[in-house]
Homo-oligomer: A and B are copies of this chain.
Amino acid sequence: MQQQKQQTLNTTQSGSVERNKLGVVAKSAGKPNSVNLLDRWLLRQMSALVGHPPFIASLWDGVEYMHQTEQPALAHLKFKDRGSLYWLLLDPELHFGDLYSTGRLEVDGDLLQFLETAYRSMAISLPNSLFSKFAKTWMNRPRANSMHGSKTNIHHHYDLGNKFYELWLDKEAMQYTCAYFPDPDMSIEQAQIAKLHHVCRKLQLKPGDSVVEAGCGWGGLSRFMAKHYGVTVKAYNISHEQIVYARSKALQEGLADRVEYVEDDYRNIEGEYDVFVSVGMLEHVGNRDYKTLGKVVNRCLKPDGRGLVHSIGRNSHCPMNAWIEKRIFPGAYPPSIKEMMDIFEPYDFSVQDVENLRLHYSKTLEHWWQRFEENVDTIRDDFDDTFVRAWRLYLAGSIAAFNTSELQLFQIVFTRAAHNELPWSRAHLYSQD
């Protein structure tokens, strides 16, 4: 029972019990590899806690456990060792992702259906149980984040390389943010182009406008604006690799005189512009910095200026999921509308339009996941199985989060308060479709 000390979950052997944190529990668990009464009781408690979803669960002895229900089992959850059960109970929010990624927790069946069913089941189960932290934190499940970051602590994400993202993002504009599906049968390429037009129309771009973009990713939106709407763009991003890619694309497309990519933080934006736009950066701006962002916008926007912020959000305040925060996007935070107002209200900006595109992100992620799986062999040339499983969980978990409304996608259009050149309706957003 006192095997070698395990420092990380990733290298924990099946059947071993972590000594450092779980010693007390482990001692009561009898022989390391046999399933005892406590193990079974904990599994039953867990099932009850999450509302007895129609899953089969088995422990490391292979024996299946299932709550009596008339529904057929939708998935089979397999705990491969005692540690996987105990780690999950100890901090499900953080450890579910790691246990799944390393294969110590296996889900046989449809991963997305499993996640959505679990989330929905938990949402209606009683919150006041002894294990409430379990449900509460597990519900802070993996969620999507866009990659346009301005924080150095997410650089490790970009180290994955452009090649990886090219395998599963759209081929048109390499957009790692929610697409727009006015027709749900659109391809991901069509929907990303539709998104770019939607953003440009909301901003009422006209030839000659100057635009500043905060967090430009691989620069797809900037080039699109310059090419199709005749504007000049200055686009900021701290990712060297993305900036190099964006500049090279602008040169190829003959847009280098109209689109300037600046390798710098949004807080260092200089100059005055007709338009401010930020698509998928806010998730990486901590909510404490929203007033700073508002200050930057206030500094750089002309008197008749208008702007758009596009971000993952929530129905109400909630911290980021610990696993995503630790393993995928350090510093990420999806705000509620109330929280987002800290950008606009202190500077008397006038919010003109808010659109929630939640289900568009589910669909975007479905496309990404499908391409990811189609290219999984190529991905495995460069990455190990733990990485592949972590990304699979991240994509599937994010679809489930948007489908079950744990996450939202807000596009907010704003203007200076005194700006009176407003369209009389939003019909112009739809007349060209």
Contacts of A417 in B (CB 8 A): 315, 405
Residues of chain A having any CB pair with chain B under 8 Å? 120, 123, 180-184, 315-317, 336-338, 341-342, 344-346, 348-356, 358-360, 403-405, 408, 417-420, 422, 424-427, 429-431, 433
Tell me the bound Cα distance from A424 to B316 in angstroms.
23
**Complex contact B430–A418 (CB within 8 A):** no
29 A-B contacts (beta carbon < 8 Å): A120-B418, A123-B418, A180-B425, A315-B349, A315-B350, A317-B345, A336-B341, A336-B345, A337-B337, A337-B341, A337-B351, A338-B341, A350-B356, A350-B405, A350-B408, A351-B356, A352-B355, A353-B354, A353-B355, A353-B356, A354-B354, A355-B426, A359-B420, A359-B422, A405-B418, A405-B420, A425-B433, A426-B429, A427-B433
- Please measure, in the bound complex, the distance between the C-alpha atom of A356 and the C-alpha atom of B315, giving whole angstroms: 20
The docked-state distance in angstroms from the alpha carbon of A418 to that of B346 is 32
Which residues in B have their C-beta under 8 angstroms from that of A346? 316
Q: Which B residues lie within 8 Å of A316 (CB)? A: 345-346, 348
CB-defined contacts of A408 to chain B, threshold 8 Å: 350-351
Partner of A424, one of B184, B337, B422: B184
Question: Are the C-beta atoms of B424 and A430 separated by less than 8 Å?
Answer: no
How far in angstroms is the closest Cβ of chain B from A235? 27
CA–CA, A418 to B344, complex, Å?
28
A396 to B424, CA, bound (A): 21
Q: In the complex, how many angstroms separate the beta carbon of A172 from the nearest chain B beta carbon?
A: 20
Q: Is the CB of A430 within 8 A of B420?
A: no
Contact partners of A430 in chain B: CB under 8 A: 425-427, 430-431
Complex Cα spacing A429 to B430, Å = 10
Shortest distance between the CB of A365 and any CB in chain B (Å): 15
CB distance from A367 to the nearest CB of B (A): 15
- Which residues of chain B have C-beta atoms less than 8 A from A355's C-beta? 352-353, 426
The 6 closest A-B pairs by CB, nearest first: A354-B354, A338-B341, A316-B345, A405-B417, A182-B425, A427-B430
In the assembly, what is the distance between CA of A181 and CA of B337, in Å? 27
Q: How far is the CB of A265 from chain B (nearest CB, A)?
A: 26
How far, in angstroms, from A417 to B355 measured CA to CA in the complex?
A: 15
Distance, CA A429 to CA B408, complexed state (A): 22
The answer, among B120, B405, B424, for a CB contact under 8 Å with A182, is B424
Interchain nearest-CB distance for A381 vs B (Å): 37
The CA of A101 and the CA of B433, in the complex, are separated in Å by 52
The answer to whether B354 and A351 touch across the interface, beta carbons within 8 angstroms, is yes
B345 touches A315 (CB 8 A): yes
Partner of A358, one of B315, B350, B433: B350
